Amino acid sequence: MMNTEELDSLDKSILRILQEDGRASYSEIARRIGVPESTVRLRVKKLLERGIIRKFAALINPFKAGYSIVAFIAVDTEPGKVKEAAEKLSKLPEVDVLGIATGAHDILMQVTVRDLKELEDFLIEKLGSIDGIKSTETSILTSVRKWGYARVF
């Protein structure tokens, strides 16, 4: 089970602003929510230390950056090999999101590649070389209607 942290209304306000604009300055955030800049600076520091903010990063549109394929891949593993396979898969640069799942498949992941040839190489060479993978099911997105991030409030 995932660890959850309680967030007060000030933390939530800071996070909302940063999710809208990760480049917002501490002084801008402070002005918008009516607290001193030092309060915002301290709160962001604590949110980073607690792992609530994982990191600050740009959200890139892969289609405009030369990647034409975003695919979701469901993976089934041999009994007892789920964690080992997930650990190896998580290290592959093509994998954007990966999780051990309940339901019809053991592992679900999102991958981004330049083209169908790169996807084929990923499926055959990289997934094919990982011990314990029994089968995969791949779905390619034909369009993306929403790019997002984890919204927790």
CA-to-CA distance for 27 and 7, rounded, in angstroms? Answer: 21
Question: How many residues appear in the chain?
Answer: 153
pLDDT band at 1; cut points 50, 70, 90: very low
Q: For the chain, how long is the longest CA-to-CA vector?
A: 55
| Residues 6+ away with beta carbon under 8 Å from 3 | none
The CATH number for 62-141, chosen from 3.40.30.10, 3.30.70.920, 3.40.50.720, 3.30.1300.10, is 3.30.70.920
Distance of CA 13 to the CA centre of its chain: 22
| Residue 3 in this model has a pLDDT that exceeds 70 | no
Query: In this structure, what token pair is assigned to residue 151?
Result: 């919204």
pLDDT digits (tens, 9 = 90+) for 89-112: 999 999 999 999 999 999 999 999
Q: CA nearest 79: which of 136, 7, 134?
A: 134
Pick the CATH number of 9-50 from 3.40.50.720, 3.40.50.300, 1.10.10.10, 3.40.50.620: 1.10.10.10
- What are 117-153's pLDDT values in tens digits? 999 999 999 999 999 999 999 999 998 888 877 676 6
